[in-house]
Structure 1
Amino acid sequence: MKKSFLFLSVLLTFFFATNLFAQNFQTGKFSGNYQSEGFNLNKGEGKRTYSVEVKFKKAYEVAPTIILTVNHLNAETKDGVRVRYEVTTKGISRDGFLIEVATWEDSKIHEIRGDWVAFNE
């Protein structure tokens, strides 16, 4: 009887911990390239931005913390030395957020890809 109770307790703890973990973390990918609608990072000079809207599969109770990573960048500059870019989040809410990719001066971005993680403690 004690072993059954212990086993059931461990099983329930694992079940609730797994569900809690699954509810607190969401992940996804983002990308943009010269074929994406509104993409202007490969043209012109000066500051240009491109935004990607992210909607969570399940809304959070409060706005989560977001971590972004870039895992692919196809870019060029006239001088061939410096590629200028910045990837930031905007408007983080319970339901989603915007990823904004910016470049400036003579940098040209032809494609960018990355991942995001959203979590609450």
Structure 2
Amino acid sequence: MKRLRNPRTGICQGDVMVFAEFEEGGAMWTGSGKRERRKSVRFDGEFSSPPSVQVSVSLWDMDTTAAIRADLVAENVTSTGFDIVFRTWSDSRIARLRASWMAIGELPFEDDWDVE
């Protein structure tokens, strides 16, 4: 997992492989119906309170013979981490998915602000 943390700005970001199931024949690739994968992410440092977290797809490897159905969200956000959650349904087949994320939160100390 690649991460960058800048404690003076309250920003932490990274890129993580959520799953890769093509070679093992996992349910995301071979199954159908509702399916879900979760990946826990821990921040390098702790925020003062739960930050705002944005997630986006940085790599997807999907079969195109069926409709591509995907939902990617951040859940269970705390001051120390969160869960990346990927969901699909019906006959969509997903071989692998990598997600980028960025957390923006309160600075750890009030005097970190430079206000003129």
Which category describes the TM-score, using the shorter chain as reference length? Answer: 0.7 to 0.9
How far, CA to CA, are the matches of 1:19 and 1:98 in structure 2? 21
Give the unaligned 5+ runs of structure 2: 1-5, 107-116
More strand by share: 2
- Which one of the candidate residues 55, 71, 74 is aligned to 1:68? 55
TM-score for both structures, normalised by structure 2 = 0.76
Instruction: Pick the structure with greater CA Rg.
Output: 1
More helix by share: 1
How far, CA to CA, are the matches of 1:43 and 1:71 in structure 2? 22
- The Cα RMSD (Å) is 2.2
Give the unaligned 5+ runs of structure 1: 1-17
| Other-structure match for 1:20 | 8
Q: Which runs of 4+ in 1 moved over 4 A?
A: none
Contact map agreement 1:40 1:50 (CA 8 A) in 2:
no
Number of aligned positions between the proteins: 99
Give CA-to-partner distance per residue, 1:3-50, whole Å, 9 cap, x none. xxxxxxxxxxxxxxx7522xx0001112121179xx631121110000
TM-score for both structures, normalised by structure 1 = 0.73
Q: 1:35 to 1:61 in 2, by over 3 A?
A: farther
